């Protein structure tokens, strides 16, 4: 089935949690994403797979209203990401690739800010924060500053924060990067528990075992969606491929994807070298 047919076969219905139609984004002459069309059903676990710099994060940022598309459209839980950005934001929970926490604040203070930003009524804030801390197994360190947290603790805190306001769709951008096997296992168990409650999850990754655990996978390369389907279907489609990784390499080639560091990476690296003042 071609991509066009895939789109045509699944018209916009309320059964879809996420719907992207010829979504594209350019930065001047650089095309970060081009006519990306796919949909994610409610309760589905969907992975966007692709090499570094393929456009996964750009697509995710367009779906989460952080970046405006330059072509096409998208909706989350039936709300347009451009016209109804505020409603979309209310419906989604997001975990970024690098921790989006204030490291000078305590875990509790970070969660409290979240509660206010999402309009959780004053009386419910403290219980909601406590519940989130417990859910993240961080109840004992709630008063400690986040800068003293390990990567795993930060990720747990962020995941817990992302679901505090009861979102229907969860976006995870490379959620397992930098986690040890224990942290990874814990994260998967948490995600599994959320899915039992009907949460739709879209994540980006370039780890094959993670992608294979998803209901469906979309493979992005050079800004375009080159394949979509259940992992088993994708493997079957490519003769000679035994694993998703084989199929992935057949689709995206074996060449290295060396790119110049992005502005984001430059700032991250500056911080790792001991960047001053701002943390």
Partner 1 sequence: MTNTGGVLPGRATSEATGLSTIFGIAPAVVYVMWRREMVRYLRDRSQLWGGLSRTLLWLVVLGFGLGAALREIEGYTYGQYILPGVITLNVLFASLQCAIALVWDREVGLLREVMVSPAPILSVTLGKLLGGASISVIQGTIPLLFLPIVFIPPGASPFDPGVLVTAFQVSVDAVAILQAWVVMFFMGIFMTALGVIIASRLKTYEGFGAISNGVIQPLYFLSGSIFPLRGVIGGVGFMEIPEAIRDELRRIGIFAIGGGWVVQLPTWLQAIVYSNPVTYQLDMLRFVLLDFEQMPLTADLLVTFALPPVAAVIAAWSMANMLKSK
Name the residues that contact partner 1, by CB under 8 A: 64-68, 86-87, 89-90, 92, 94, 96, 98-105, 109-110, 112-114, 116-122, 145, 161, 263-264, 266-268, 270-271, 275-279
Q: In the complex with partner 1, which residue's Cβ is closer, 104 or 185?
A: 104
Least Cβ distance, residue 269 to partner 1 (angstroms): 10
Cα–Cα distance for residue pair 105/171, rounded to 1 Å: 24
Least Cβ distance, residue 186 to partner 1 (angstroms): 21
Least Cβ distance, residue 104 to partner 1 (angstroms): 5
**Burial class of residue 160, CB neighbours in 10 A (0-12, 13-18, 19+):** buried
Q: Which long-range contacts (CB under 8 A, 24 or more apart) does 62-69 make?
A: 62/20, 62/23, 62/25, 62/33, 63/18, 63/20, 63/171, 63/202, 64/88, 64/89, 64/92, 64/94, 64/171, 65/89, 67/25, 68/25, 69/23, 69/24, 69/25
Asked whether 21 and 74 are in contact (CB, 8 A), the reply is: yes
Which parts of 50-109 are beta strand (E)?
71-76, 79-80, 92-95
Least Cβ distance, residue 27 to partner 1 (angstroms): 8
Kindly state the DSSP code that residue 146 receives in the 8-state scheme.
Answer: G
Least Cβ distance, residue 6 to partner 1 (angstroms): 28
Q: In the complex with partner 1, which residue's Cβ is closer, 118 or 188?
A: 118
Least Cβ distance, residue 102 to partner 1 (angstroms): 4
Q: In the complex with partner 1, which residue's Cβ is closer, 68 or 243?
A: 68
Q: In the complex with partner 1, which residue's Cβ is closer, 122 or 242?
A: 122
To 10 degrees, what angle do helices 151-162 and 107-117 make? 20
Q: In the complex with partner 1, which residue's Cβ is closer, 243 or 269?
A: 269
Residues 6+ apart with CB under 8 A from 36: 20, 22, 23, 24, 55, 59, 72, 220, 223, 224, 225
**From the centroid of its chain, how far is CA 200?**
11
Least Cβ distance, residue 153 to partner 1 (angstroms): 16
Q: In the complex with partner 1, which residue's Cβ is closer, 119 or 239?
A: 119
Least Cβ distance, residue 256 to partner 1 (angstroms): 24
Copy the structure tokens of residue 103.
Answer: 């490291």
CA-to-CA separations, 98 to 40, 103, 137, 243, in angstroms, rounded: 25, 12, 20, 29
Q: In the complex with partner 1, which residue's Cβ is closer, 122 or 254?
A: 122
Q: In the complex with partner 1, which residue's Cβ is closer, 8 or 116?
A: 116
């Amino acid at each position: 089935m071609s991509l066009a047919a895939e789109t045509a076969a699944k018209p916009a219905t309320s059964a879809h949690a996420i719907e992207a139609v010829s979504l594209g984004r350019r930065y001047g002459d650089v095309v970060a994403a081009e006519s990306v069309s796919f949909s994610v059903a409610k309760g589905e676990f969907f992975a966007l797979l692709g090499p570094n710099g393929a456009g996964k994060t750009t697509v995710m940022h367009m779906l989460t209203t952080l970046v405006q598309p330059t072509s096409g459209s998208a909706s989350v839980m039936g709300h347009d990401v451009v016209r109804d950005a505020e409603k979309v934001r209310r419906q989604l929970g997001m975990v970024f690739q690098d921790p989006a926490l204030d490291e000078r604040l305590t875990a509790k203070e970070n969660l409290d800010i979240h509660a206010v930003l999402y309009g959780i009524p004053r009386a419910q804030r403290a219980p909601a924060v406590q519940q989130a801390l417990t859910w993240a197994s961080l109840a004992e360190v709630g008063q400690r500053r986040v800068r003293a947290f390990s990567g795993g603790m930060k990720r747990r805190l962020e995941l817990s924060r992302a679901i505090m306001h009861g979102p229907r769709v969860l976006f995870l951008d490379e959620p397992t990067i930098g986690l040890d096997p224990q942290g990874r296992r814990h994260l998967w168990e948490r995600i599994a528990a959320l899915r039992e409650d009907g949460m739709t999850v879209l994540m980006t990754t370039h780890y094959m075992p993670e992608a294979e655990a998803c209901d469906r996978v979309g493979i992005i390369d050079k800004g375009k969606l080159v394949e979509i389907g259940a992992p088993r279907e994708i493997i079957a489609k490519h003769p000679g491929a035994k694993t998703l990784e084989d199929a992935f390499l057949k689709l995206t080639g074996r060449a290295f994807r060396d790119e110049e560091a992005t502005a984001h990476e430059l700032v991250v690296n500056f911080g790792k070298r001991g960047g001053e003042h701002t943390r």
